[in-house]
Structure 1
């Protein structure tokens, strides 16, 4: 039977025979029309089983390198063209047991130009890649966007998945690109209860996390070169999506009342995080929300409202969404379970104005047909049973305790040497180290990592012009660290801040 692909470093005898024979055919050791040894003869020569050689011959026949007929030795097709097939580094002895290669031969570099990328591809190639934690990950990592595994409702989720598996349909088929009707109905009810958001189920598009929702929105609403408003500082992945699309970015500074909305220039789109600005944590005031919606009506723009962690409010009830004030239907609401259940689930949703429903359905279908049905069914069960909201209340309480532990540790270790922003909501804070100049931010991050602590600078989230030092720029004066705490317990938080403080003492 044909050989199966093997993991890196695991190569079967049959697959190594295939590699060697393929290279010998390409190098005209066996030219077109020539015959190879019988499977019995080659097996005896190599000291392997005949079944192994038969499997190699069948794989080569499937690839078109051999013609195999019952009772006849395999033959290289007479019409096989060797141009472009030549591989260096193999000889007839490579079929001997000691000479069987464990790696596929690599064709020599011919100097041919690389495949041409589109403008979109070239813009993507220029974007920085996010580095995931590796073997040298910090002992205590304050990376924002991560949750504690112990908070995940494992048993509840398992029961929901088991129930979904048992409810097998008569046929396995592709689902609705917008998401299952049951999930969309459950989301409609939840959004009304939890966020005061009114919509119909057909306005909801279920997506693979908020990242896909944002990507679809930007692709559908913007052409290359068109202007888009973003917050400054801003969620880096959102800025990358807009950059890859070719948008002309117009950064707007953020203060304690959210993004500044006075004198907004005309644009096609605005991306905002009004309920908990990322990363500074401010809440957009009602007057600025009204200004933003008036601006959108005046210039025919669409506002993307990213409500990435709106469920987490520790002083008062969660802030109502921007979409609830929208009378002109110019807001696309973007939600996710990445901050309530798990970022690994890749479940999010859009609420789109009615005129955009068909375009979003078509875009989602072309992107990936639909979001995985099993996860949709499990989330539907959690929403319908009330288990999701009970879970949110539970983790909100736990994260409130983590938040209190972090604030106490920062206050104890740094005193008036730190100023904290964004602590009223969400799952991270910004700690401004007021005893250090901004220029020492990279040194601080490196010193913390050497002490086994992962902290993340705020400057990469700013538009570069804001860091230029111009007199008219809103340049931060001190280093800022975006500190996430939802993935740690109280002991780890206290220990991590103590290590950070000790590392900074050396730099002071």
Structure 2
């Protein structure tokens, strides 16, 4: 019995405390570390006791303690099972105990930049399920069709697609993207202005390394995407957090920035769009001070009502804008393909720098994606997903309005994107509420974590794209209970 063998090995190293306590500690550690798999079944107490050579009462008491602490659950008629989601407090305390002996060693080996990165790391290990923000429904992607395109193109691959890429990505994909973006997003670009990246993170890293010096001032939305903020911090830039209102980023008088980072079509995370007056103001400011605007066209494809907002890049000829996009939300995140449209004078320097820093590749799948776009499958997939996501958003909004109250809905219904924000009272702890929901299997993100500076704004980001109506209904019931237990007054049903 593998469980007992592991416990017998670990018990040899524990000398203090009663046998029952030592066995409990060993089982807790094995569950937390994943050695005993989450969701797996524990051996019956009688079998475990026999294998360990201890009394059955000792094992019974240990199983009962694990159950009381949330590590295991009992299922009538089918035994004892390890919990799928472990209690966060136990995970935290265990992590602290394990980390303490290594803390001094880590502090001596990590650079200041490395320590800063880890200290501000907020990437979630949870990327699927109710209500993960920004997660598309990857099960709806036409995988069979895409695989057929790949298989056909890969039978006799061109040797140039099997080596490092130094040309900014697959030429076929760059041409297909130029044609698509001109029509769909009013982007002014030809294929030579497009660089293929592995996503927005790599694109932001590239432009800040090449176009900024350490200490340069940059503007970023407040609240804004933590991933961009961490990259700017890692590259030694001075970040000025710019307030966001119902018209988007609020430009202020002051020292000019080297770069301005915006999500104008669907501000992340609040969802507002940058007004025409603000767009023109930012363009004027950038031209005057020779600044660069970095436009992350986040979620622009998924607008469910009204007229789509064209890109900021295409508003004026020769605009000082670096336009960024990705297929992570429209297709699936693991594809790891994004793109940049850069002003002509930057195309060659950035292409050379990208080859030096990252050694581009994935040319075979990039060519398949180009074919997928050219044959019209990409637009058809977006149209289909737009309808599906609109239905799921409306369903979630109805749940919020019915069971929480209209005051919890976003003040302006922007009918776009893959998530919405449930607004909470300013005096609540949205981080604690998100942690409570996570312990019960519901994954939301606290709004306060998207602010660089302390704010009164509180809320929860709820992603609806990858959640069908049955899953949404069940998860929302759990979330409502978490809000009630946290002292949030919700609407009472008659």
Q: TM-score range by the shorter chain?
A: 0.7 to 0.9
Match of 2:474 in 1: 495
1:383 equivalent to 2:373? Answer yes
1:428 equivalent to 2:407? Answer no
Match of 1:461 in 2: 450
1:482 equivalent to 2:461? Answer yes
**5+ residue gaps in structure 2?**
1-101, 488-494
Contact 1:297–1:328 (8 Å) recurs in 2: no
In 2: Cα distance, 1:177 partner to 1:460 partner: 38
Structure 1, 396-405 or 448-457: larger mean CA deviation: 448-457
Cα deviation, 1:371-391, whole Å, max 9, x if unaligned, reads 311220111011110110011
1:263 equivalent to 2:256? Answer no
Q: Indicate the SS of the match to 1:316.
A: coil
In 2: Cα distance, 1:333 partner to 1:230 partner: 15
Q: 1:281-300 residue pairs with structure 2 within 5 A?
A: 281-300=271-290
In 1: Cα distance, 2:243 partner to 2:480 partner: 30
1:131 equivalent to 2:120? Answer no
1:221 equivalent to 2:211? Answer yes
Q: 1:145 aligns with which of 134, 149, 153?
A: 134
Higher-Rg member (1/2): 1
Match of 1:395 in 2: 385
TM-score, L = length of structure 2: 0.73
In 1: Cα distance, 2:259 partner to 2:191 partner: 24
Cα deviation, 1:318-350, whole Å, max 9, x if unaligned, reads 210000123343100001111100011000000
Cα deviation, 1:431-474, whole Å, max 9, x if unaligned, reads 102xx44342233223322333221101111122x42xxxxxxx
Contact 1:305–1:334 (8 Å) recurs in 2: yes
In 2: Cα distance, 1:121 partner to 1:480 partner: 30
TM-score, L = length of structure 1: 0.71
In 2: Cα distance, 1:144 partner to 1:412 partner: 22
Structure 1's 409 and 490: CA in aligned 2 closer, same or farther, altered over 3 A?
A: same
Q: Indicate the SS of the match to 1:438.
A: coil
In 1: Cα distance, 2:322 partner to 2:117 partner: 25
Contact 2:219–2:240 (8 Å) recurs in 1: yes
Cα deviation, 1:189-216, whole Å, max 9, x if unaligned, reads 0001111112111000000112111111
Structure 1, 310-319 or 244-253: larger mean CA deviation: 310-319
Structure 1, 408-417 or 298-307: larger mean CA deviation: 408-417
Q: 1:49-88 residue pairs with structure 2 within 5 A?
A: none
Cα deviation, 1:133-153, whole Å, max 9, x if unaligned, reads 39xx9xx53111212232111
In 2: Cα distance, 1:401 partner to 1:286 partner: 29
Match of 2:146 in 1: 157
Would you say how many aligned residue pairs link Structure 1 and Structure 2? 383
Q: 1:86-235 residue pairs with structure 2 within 5 A?
A: 120-133=113-126, 141-169=130-158, 172-235=162-225
In 1: Cα distance, 2:422 partner to 2:255 partner: 32
In 2: Cα distance, 1:204 partner to 1:494 partner: 42
Match of 1:449 in 2: 438
